Structure 1
Amino acid sequence: MTPAQRDQQSQSANPQIEPGSKTLKSYSTAQARSAAGLDEPQWQAFYQYTKEEARWVVAQSVDESGEIPRWTGTTVSLKRMSWERVNATLRNNGIQAVSWDTFDWRMATAVRDARESARSKRAATATAARDDAATARPYDPVRDQ
């Protein structure tokens, strides 16, 4: 294999992300961080802000039946508001704003994790309530004086 062929193979195995890329969803965390132009501490801050924002989105998105939509099912207005809030937080902390593609890539995972966390808490609460009801004894006037 010639050096030129190795370079071409290497580039196809590790494609560079261009900001605004439509294929950002298939990239690794390191590639997404590179596309966002953030260093490691800035990426960690972005990660934390989006984690908190995902919890907020999940709380805002619960419908009447208690179902929590995926990030793709979240309203456009809520997505835009969320993106603006995260970018404002980033700018307030001296970090450059991120593109929609980077934000969308991260929030798909963050909302999934927040949904799972909300479901677990709801299930634990329901189990605890059921257990309390099962162990409760009826009123006994002698015992309960």
Structure 2
Amino acid sequence: MWLLTTATAEEARAKSGLNWSEWARFYAFAKEEARRLASEHPEWNWTNVPQYEKSRVRDSINGQLRREGISPLGEDIIRWRMSICIRDVKQWAVNKTCMPKRNSTAAGAAGSAYHQVPPSRPYDPVRDF
């Protein structure tokens, strides 16, 4: 039976036949592949990844699993995981770029960037308290 993309993680793990530690390794391998794909092709999601690249990802993940003595997985489980993983990696990257950056200068260490006074303004004892 083909695994639906709406399946839960527990349903996917049960269908895979992997135990929890093997499943964790699969998650790690898939996440690394998703990071690579998202960095090389940020416009892609799993549905528009070319077939040759999907085959390469499947072979890479299954090769890593085999090297650790873990049974290879079917295309439906890899599709299920990569769809989620690519979406999550891309969302994480968006969230990371939207977060305010910490200022590492001495003035930034004393307070937030919002309370710093631009150097072109003269000192004001009230404003610059």
TM value normalised by structure 1: 0.64
Q: 2:96, 2:9 → 1: CA distance?
A: 28
Q: Structure 1 stretches (4+) deviating beyond 3 angstroms?
A: 135-138
Q: Give the number of the structure whose residues are more often helix, by fraction.
A: 1
- Whether the 8 Å contact between 1:61 and 1:74 is mirrored in structure 2 is no
Name the counterpart of 2:76.
101
Post-superposition shift, 1:136? 6.7
Is 2:114 the counterpart of 1:114?
A: no
Structure 1: which amino acid aligns with 2:6?
S
Gaps in structure 1 of 5+ consecutive residues: 1-17, 63-67, 139-145
Post-superposition shift, 1:97? 0.6
Counterparts of residues 1-145 of structure 1 (less than 5 Å): 18=1, 21=2, 23-62=3-42, 68-124=43-99, 128=101, 137=119
Q: 1:71, 1:83 → 2: CA distance?
A: 12
Q: 2:89, 2:71 → 1: CA distance?
A: 25
Q: Secondary structure at the match of 2:56?
A: helix
Post-superposition shift, 1:110? 0.5
Q: 2:61, 2:22 → 1: CA distance?
A: 13
Post-superposition shift, 1:36? 1.1
Between the aligned residues of both structures, percent identity stands at 27
- Whether the 8 Å contact between 1:57 and 1:78 is mirrored in structure 2 is no
Structure 2: which amino acid aligns with 1:56?
R
- Whether the 8 Å contact between 1:25 and 1:105 is mirrored in structure 2 is yes
TM value normalised by structure 2: 0.72
What is the count of residue pairs matched by the alignment? 109
Gaps in structure 2 of 5+ consecutive residues: 102-112, 121-129
